[in-house]
Structure 1
Amino acid sequence: MIGGIFEKSWRIITLVACVFVAGCGGSDIDEQEIIRPARLLVISPASERLDVSFPAIVEARNSSTLTFQVGGLLTGFPVSESQFVRRGQVLARLDQRRYANAVASAQAQFDAAQRDYESAAALLEQNAIAEIQVRQREAQRDVAAASLDSVKKDLADTVLRAPFSGVVAEKLAVRFENVSPQQDIVTLQSTGAAEAVVSVPASLVPRFSRKRPTNAYVVLSSAPDVQIPGSFLAARTQADTQSQTFRVKFAFNPPPNVPALPGSTATVYVGRELLEEELEGNGISVPLGAVLSDGKARYVWVVDRESMTVSKRTVTVADSIGEEIAISDGLKPGETIVAAGAAYLHDGMKIRPYDS
């Protein structure tokens, strides 16, 4: 009896093992060919392409970190971050008792000095006092007036007001904190008109000032379908110490329904006439992501449009231009390359266009 049960169990285990091996062997199952999506680009001469793009960072037209000119206890801080405030609105207030007392004392000293001077002037008219004494009391009155003006200014400086209308970007202190003169209290940024700041190599800086890019426009990352007209504003001639690039600013006015938050990303497009020296004749430029490196050479993936397969081709590159890189040799107009999604390809791999 026990032997029969054991034999039956062994047959079941053997059958299951055979099925498992057959299912896992996979020798009779063809692997499905991998077809990777990729964004394609048809190479065209520089003269036929309308503009060139530069990555940018949005900045407020006016941005200021405000401080008190005097120190004291921060007793009032009636604004919150992201709040819109109008010019002249109170942003913060210090304890005024010490400064108010100083004004009262200086006022009393001035009043006394003024009375002394007036009395001396009256006596001078009667020839009852020397003129030099009158001049001394006049000088004392003037010193008291200057002291009064100084403490009145200190009292006024205990109230921090918005120098322009804008948004409270950041509060840098807390209520009931003892703050020092010139300590950062709050950052205020203007709304509406904004700036897009791009970084360019030294070779392009003179041209921005000389040619004044035309037909420039800005595309915000938060609104990729909206083209906002822009205009060249300024080019800094001092390089950034880390990137060794130069800041170029473009002014633009975002539509009311398109927020342009400082610190957000954007893309600035300018006419390609700015780059005619880099891309003379049929010079070619491609997106930065299209050019890869194997440690020895730079290459791109060229697409055979009939078989939709890719092959590696070595190219000679020049300087990068915004979000593109100039190709001096290895490509010609009319050829198709992989513009994005090239990192995981290999020779002969099939691809399909990815346009969304």
Structure 2
Amino acid sequence: MTVRNLMFAASALGVLAACSPAEPEEQAPPRAARIEAVQAAATSNQREFVGRVEARLTVDLSFQVGGRLAEFPVSEGQLIEQGVLVARLETQDFERARRETQVQLQQARQNLDRQRTLNERGIASDAALEDAQTAYDLRAVALDTARQNLEYATINAPFDGLISRRLVDNYTTVSAGQPVVRIQDVSELRVAIQVPESLIAQVDRGDEPEMVARFPFLPDQSFQLEYRELVAEPDQASQTYTALFALPDSVPANILPGMTASVTVNLPQSLSNQAQGVVAPLSALASNPDGSFSVWVFDAESGAVSRQSVLAGPIEGGQVVIHTGLEPGDEIVTAGVNALYEGMLVRPITSTNR
């Protein structure tokens, strides 16, 4: 065979090889994934919360002037009435400043009268009279300030309240604005609870849920709560809102701010129905670009997963209530959801082969 024939044969073989079908690519083996079946959420119309007793108002009292404490007659745990002396600074310096400004004001008055007389006689100029008037006005302001500082040296109770804490000791030298005592308005005690997002819309409605508080040291007594206010900003960590409810006036005197209460909420039937759905591990949720959530549903026949958008509800103890998108018994991926894609083959991991 000639060289020309050999080259022709090689070219023909290359064309045949190019036209022959390519071998199929080897499919990636299924990825191991933890699969769990979701269960129906509880439909009880009762919720339990841990509440904390708070005073209607808590204020740290301070002097508006600095000085040395001379009187501090209140004690921690004492109930006092409005206007009662709480603390007083040494007043010698303030009284001395007041007397000094009184003398200076009297001198300024005399000088003003003299300049006015001289001006009427044509001896003193109008400018001299204006300067005398300005000096008098400044001395009058200084006297008002000295009198005010003398009043600032005394703290009286702004309302009937409970002295919860003395922040300094008597005879301490304090600066202006430094808190010296904490007083609480206990005319109405309140219970603060952390409300999840799923219930927040019901807190201030006319058909608000019935709420009852109980204390561990009063096991046979319960106290009806009345809604007061809602802190509109959620907690950054738990995304819950603080709701405040008033205890009745008949609560025993041994219930004090800072104590812990167990709060039972009886939800309206309409709200308890909204809580229906399924419960899934929080780790099963995947974020969508629009801010919503989805889960990956496992198909046992094909071994593949598919994305399913869901409406997520309250989160409790690592579990999330899913209101729509899933039915009880559906199998979903509960770990590593960010590494999945549509139609991906997975191999279920059970408690045995793990």
Give a deviation string over 1:314-340, Cα, whole Å, max 9, x none.
xxx973579x99698879xxxxxxxxx
* Structure 2 equivalent of residue 300 of structure 1: none
Q: Relative to 1, partners in 2 of residues 1:129 and 1:277: Cα closer, same or farther, differing over 3 Å?
A: farther
* Structure 1 equivalent of residue 144 of structure 2: 149
Q: Please say if residues 278 and 326 of structure 1, whose CA atoms lie closer than 8 Å, have aligned partners that are also in contact.
A: no
* Structure 2 equivalent of residue 77 of structure 1: 72
* Structure 1 equivalent of residue 224 of structure 2: 229
Alignment of 1:236-255 (within 5 A): 236-255=231-250
Q: Which runs of 5+ in 1 are unaligned?
A: 1-42, 286-292, 297-316, 332-356
Q: Please say if residues 53 and 268 of structure 1, whose CA atoms lie closer than 8 Å, have aligned partners that are also in contact.
A: yes
Question: What amino acid does structure 2 have at the position aligned with 1:97?
Answer: Q
State yes or no: 1:213 paired with 2:191: no
Pick which of 195-204 and 237-246 moved more.
237-246
Q: Percent identity?
A: 26
Cα offset for 1:268? 3.0
Residue number among 51, 56, 61 corresponding to 2:51 in the alignment:
56
Bigger CA radius of gyration: 2
State yes or no: 1:110 paired with 2:115: no
Cα offset for 1:219? 2.6
Q: Relative to 1, partners in 2 of residues 1:44 and 1:109: Cα closer, same or farther, differing over 3 Å?
A: same
Q: Relative to 1, partners in 2 of residues 1:277 and 1:260: Cα closer, same or farther, differing over 3 Å?
A: same
Give a deviation string over 1:52-111, Cα, whole Å, max 9, x none.
332110000011111111111112211111111111111111111222211111111112
> What RMSD in Å do the two structures reach over aligned CA positions?
3.5
Separation (CA, whole Å) in 2 of partners of 1:140 and 1:155:
23
Q: Please say if residues 278 and 328 of structure 2, whose CA atoms lie closer than 8 Å, have aligned partners that are also in contact.
A: no
Aligned-partner SS, 1:262: coil
Separation (CA, whole Å) in 1 of partners of 2:221 and 2:278:
27
Cα offset for 1:152? 1.6
Question: What amino acid does structure 2 have at the position aligned with 1:224?
Answer: P
Cα offset for 1:190? 1.6
Q: Please say if residues 234 and 250 of structure 1, whose CA atoms lie closer than 8 Å, have aligned partners that are also in contact.
A: yes
* Structure 1 equivalent of residue 158 of structure 2: 163
Cα offset for 1:217? 3.3
Q: Which runs of 5+ in 2 are unaligned?
A: 1-40, 285-311, 330-354
Separation (CA, whole Å) in 1 of partners of 2:48 and 2:116:
76
Aligned-partner SS, 1:119: helix
Q: Relative to 1, partners in 2 of residues 1:83 and 1:196: Cα closer, same or farther, differing over 3 Å?
A: same
How many residues end up aligned between the 2 structures?
256
Cα offset for 1:261? 0.5
Q: Please say if residues 87 and 155 of structure 2, whose CA atoms lie closer than 8 Å, have aligned partners that are also in contact.
A: yes
* Structure 2 equivalent of residue 25 of structure 1: none
Aligned-partner SS, 1:193: strand
Q: Please say if residues 80 and 168 of structure 1, whose CA atoms lie closer than 8 Å, have aligned partners that are also in contact.
A: yes
Aligned-partner SS, 2:255: coil
Pick which of 63-72 and 130-139 moved more.
130-139
The normalised TM-score by structure 2 is 0.62
Q: Relative to 1, partners in 2 of residues 1:118 and 1:226: Cα closer, same or farther, differing over 3 Å?
A: farther
Aligned-partner SS, 1:116: helix
* Structure 2 equivalent of residue 24 of structure 1: none
Cα offset for 1:258? 4.6
The normalised TM-score by structure 1 is 0.62
Aligned-partner SS, 1:100: helix
